[in-house]
Amino acid sequence: MNSSTPQMQQEAMADVVIGGMTRESFLLKSALAAGAVYGMGMVGPFVRSAFAAEAVDDLAILNFALTLEYLESDFYAKAVKLPGLSSKSRALAQLIGKHEDEHVAFLVSAIKGAGGTPVAKPTFTFPLKNEASFLMLAQTFEDTGVSAYNGAGPLIKDKGILAAAGTIVQVEGRHAAAIRLQHGETPAPNAFDAKLDMAQVLTAVKPFIKA
């Protein structure tokens, strides 16, 4: 005999798994898909709401970090082949690119180790034309990466994952400082760094994601 009330059944349905995804993951993926079609400006509030619901899932955070590391890794791989790049900037791109490759490998391993599936690498496009465009884009990506990890840190539940993220963000901060120095700017302009939520990060990097 089923003694559950309609209210109890409704509450149970709130946690239903849709096609292998939780309700929160389904809403998140739907919001991101809408953003790709209509622009993040129109669906930003819905994405923020969906990410808030999904915040308990460390795997979602790891996969988001992996997407950022994919972007940085791909950017530096293209940058080292850019004609006219100074020897110092090229060496910097090679070093930072190696670090980003290692971050990608680590995150893929961590996601698999936690029972998840790493997100597929997107196709990226960058307006790389010369030394100036390299430094401008590199500074944008490194600053965004640091702020993204700052924003994601408080949402991570697993202490091991949080500790690993802490070691990555420190290196990303050094990357940002090195790029700023090469750009002729102050390496550490502020006493405290900014943080970005996932929707804000997505808005920042979306122009560089081709598919």
Render the chain in DSSP notation, one character per residue.
-----HHHHHHHHTT-EETTEEHHHHHHHHHHHHHHHH-HHHHHHHHHHHHHHHTT-HHHHHHHHHHHHHHHHHHHHHHTT-TT--HHHHHHHHHHHHHHHHHHHHHHHHHHHTT--PPPPPPB-----SHHHHHHHHHHHHHHHHHHHHHHGGG---HHHHHHHHHHHHHHHHHHHHHHHHTTS-S---SS-----HHHHHHHHGGGB--
Do 11 and 110 belong to one domain? no
Q: What is the pTM of this model?
A: 0.71
Do 9 and 81 belong to one domain? no
User: Does 13 score more than 90 pLDDT?
Assistant: no
Q: What is the mean pLDDT of the chain?
A: 80
Do 100 and 144 belong to one domain? yes
User: Does 10 score more than 90 pLDDT?
Assistant: no
Domain that holds residue 22: 1-54
Q: Report the domain count for the chain.
A: 2
